[in-house]
């Protein structure tokens, strides 16, 4: 291989991060669809569809142009309009007599590159801030499962954006109590919304949960306290939180749980039979003074509890097909006597393979607990 070929190959590897052409194209297509959805979100499609032919195309082009233009700051909007005017003058060969045509073109292209550089600088700054927020968010959730005799735990969360609104936790309510009296609290929650607003509310949920759990109250009291706090900070019910909270007694293997508008977890018995944990009420933050009913199940050796957020079942592939609960149920039913971490890996890998290069549109969180034999 010649030196020039090595330089070209090195340049391409640096630009593409080593991805193959088909992968890059799939990523570009997914990002283009996401951007198109962003810009067309406020378009009145019902009115637009009444127009036909070239008129409809011109109207759509105008609306998309204004949608993109209004995403810029006022100063950059004016700058972009000046650059576009220069390009139009170049296209129609209109310029002062003492200005070379090439200078007019270079000024317009340079203006576009300068505007792109400004937008990239904003993006880099925002990305750095979001990465700091992501690190802080990671500190709020456990990275390793608590060591509880007879319990095998695994969990993970993958936000759709740099930060997300999903939350999971697992900790002993009374860590200093004798082993036969210990209580393990399990929590999975999904704050309405995505990205930074949801991440901020997720942080307040974590703080309120940890504060409410200090005195190790019965589960219904703990959930009622969380609901009161959520109602006081839900902006009139617009920022609610779905959640699954459970109080597990390792000694008796009894699980008391409350479902607050969340996806019903799956309990797979060692025999292969599946049950859904569905006792509960409204999401947290909807109605003050709600008294949430609780359910109780007795777990046995080899039983498996699978808790997840709606991002798992609503994951979409490039054909706009959802992964769906039936697939999750089938995979849980086919689970063997494997570790919780292995089950978690299989479920996560199945969704990743199903989605392919399609951009993730919601946070995906799992909490897996197996009662050891």
Mean pLDDT by 10 residues, the chain (373 residues): 74 70 70 73 76 83 84 87 85 73 81 87 76 72 85 89 82 85 92 74 86 90 90 71 94 94 94 92 87 93 94 87 92 89 93 84 91 84
pLDDT of residue 260: 92
pLDDT of residue 302: 92
- As a whole number of angstroms, the distance between CA 113 and CA 142 comes to 44
CA angle 56, 60, 114 (to 5 degrees): 150
pLDDT of residue 373: 74
pLDDT of residue 238: 65
- As a whole number of angstroms, the distance between CA 33 and CA 23 comes to 15
pLDDT of residue 1: 59
Report residue 352 CA to chain centroid gap: 14
pLDDT of residue 97: 66
Global pTM reads 0.73
Q: Which CATH superfamily does the domain covering 152-371 fall into?
A: PPM-type phosphatase domain (3.60.40.10)
pLDDT of residue 18: 65
pLDDT of residue 151: 93
């Amino acid at each position: 291989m010649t030196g020039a070929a090595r330089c070209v190959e090195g340049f391409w590897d640096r630009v593409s991060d080593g991805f193959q052409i088909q992968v890059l194209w799939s990523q570009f297509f997914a990002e283009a669809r996401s951007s198109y959805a962003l810009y067309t979100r406020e378009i009145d499609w019902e009115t637009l569809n009444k127009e036909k032919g070239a008129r409809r195309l011109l109207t759509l082009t105008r609306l998309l142009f204004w949608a993109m233009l209004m995403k810029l700051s006022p100063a950059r909007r004016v700058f972009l309009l000046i650059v576009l005017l220069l390009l139009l003058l170049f296209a129609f060969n209109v310029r002062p007599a003492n200005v070379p045509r090439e200078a007019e073109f270079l000024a317009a292209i340079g203006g576009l590159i300068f505007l792109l550089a400004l937008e990239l600088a904003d993006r880099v700054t925002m990305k750095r801030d979001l990465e700091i927020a992501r690190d802080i968010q990671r500190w709020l959730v456990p990275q390793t499962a608590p060591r509880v005799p007879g319990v095998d735990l695994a969990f993970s969360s993958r936000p759709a954006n740099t930060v997300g609104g999903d939350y999971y936790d697992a900790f002993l309510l009374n860590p200093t109590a004798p082993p036969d009296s210990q209580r393990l609290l399990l929590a999975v929650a999904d704050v309405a919304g995505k990205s930074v607003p949801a991440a901020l509310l997720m942080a307040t949920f974590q703080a309120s949960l940890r504060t409410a759990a200090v005195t190790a109250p019965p589960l219904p009291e703990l959930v009622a306290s969380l609901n009161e706090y959520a109602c006081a900070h839900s902006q009139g019910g617009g920022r609610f939180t779905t959640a699954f909270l459970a109080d597990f007694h390792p000694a008796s293997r009894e699980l008391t749980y409350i479902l607050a508008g969340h996806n019903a977890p799956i309990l797979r018995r060692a025999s292969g039979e599946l049950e859904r944990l569905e006792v509960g009420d409204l999401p947290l933050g909807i109605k003050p003074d709600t008294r949430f009913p609780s359910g109780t199940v007795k777990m046995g050796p080899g039983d498996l509890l699978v808790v997840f957020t709606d991002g798992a079942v609503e994951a979409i592939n490039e054909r706009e097909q959802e992964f769906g609960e039936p697939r999750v149920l089938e995979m849980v039913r086919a689970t063997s006597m494997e570790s919780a971490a292995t089950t978690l890996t299989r479920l996560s890998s199945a969704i990743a393979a199903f989605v392919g290069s399609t951009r993730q549109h919601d946070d995906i969180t799992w909490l897996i607990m197996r009662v050891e034999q």
